[in-house]
Amino acid sequence: MTEEKKDFFVSDISLSYQYTAGNATTRFLNKVAEGKLVAQKCPKCSAVYVPPRGSCPRCGVATEEELELPDTGAVESFTIVHIPIPGNPIVPPYVSAMIRLDGADISFLHLIQEIDLADIRIGMRVQAVWKDKSDWGTTLENIKWFKPTGEDDVDPSVFKFKE
């Protein structure tokens, strides 16, 4: 009898890290914990960043000025995810969309629900659906998902940056 030879073994590497979000993002997240979406504005080109990372890469300068944005916006683009991702609790199929908040110059990825998957489209108007206030923390997960508002679609040309 020959013993089956194994040509590999799994060796787990465990390292612990204390993650930090950055000073600018920390300010943003502390406001998210209060249910507010506070963007940052470039002092040179006036581009509005949300979520902010503290800089405008167009100009290479810090974004200090803060302004609160509404929790409404439009779908810049989207995908319908059909495969489960390991460690991701959301059950497919689901819509992952680039949401452009009203007044913002960049989009961020979030979910869209309360919609027939066949109806989702670029330019659709959406609004945030928040968790119960008692469940709020310093995370954009305070927003469960975005849902359609029923307003007329916007023309995708609005997503172009105007200096």
Partner 1 sequence: MIEAAVIGVGQTKYEAKRRDVSMGGLVRKAIDKAMLAADVDWDAIDAVILGKAPDMFEGVMMPELSLVDAIGANGKPLLRVHTAGSVGGSTAVIAASHVCSGNFDTVLTVTYEKQSESNATWALSPKYPYSPHINAGAGGYFAPYMREYIRRYDAPENIGWKVAVKDRLNALKNPLAHLQIPGIDENMVAETPMLWEPLRYLESCPSSDGACAMVISNKKLAESRNAAWIKGMAVRSEGTLSAGRDEVNPQGGQDCAKDIYDQAGITNPFKEIDCAEIYVPFSWYEPMWLENLHFCDLGEGWKLTERGATEIEGDIPFNMSGGVLSSNPIGASGMIRFGEACLQVTNQAGDHQVDGANVAMGHAYGGAAQFFAMWIVSNKK
Partner 2 sequence: MKDIYILAYAQNPIVADAKAANEVELIMPVVHQVFKQTGFTQNDIGFTCSGSCDYLQGAAFAFVEGLSAIQTNPPIKESHVEMDAAWALYESILKIQMGDAETALIYGFGKSSPGDLPFVSTLQTDPYYMSPLWPDKTSLAALQAQLLMNKGLLTKKDMYEALTQSISNAKNNPNALVTAMPSEDDYLTADYLSSPLSAFDCAPISDGASAMIIGTEEAAAKLGLQKIKISSVHHSIETSNFGARDLSTSESIIGLGKKINLKSFELDFAELHTQFTYEIPFIRGLLDLGNIDINLSGGPLAGNVMMAAGLDSIGKSFELLKNNDFNNGLAHASSGPCLQQNMLVHLEKIND
Q: Give the interface with partner 2 as residue ranges (CB under 8 A).
A: 11, 13, 15-26, 53-55, 57-62
Q: Shortest CA distance to 76 belongs to which of 107, 54, 48, 115?
A: 107
Q: Whole-number minimum distance, CB 116 to partner 2, in Å? A: 36
Question: SS3 sequence, 29-66?
Answer: HHHHCCCCEEEEECCCCCCEECCCCCEECCCCEECCEE
Per partner kind, with CB cut-offs from 5 to 8 A, the member of partner 1, partner 2, none near residue 78 is partner 1
Per partner kind, with CB cut-offs from 5 to 8 A, the member of partner 1, partner 2, none near residue 101 is none
158 Cβ contact partners less than 8 Å away, ≥ 6 residues apart: 74
Site string for partner 1, 18-57 (x = CB under 8 A): -x-x---x---x------------x--x-xxx---x-xxx
Q: Whole-number minimum distance, CB 70 to partner 1, in Å? A: 18
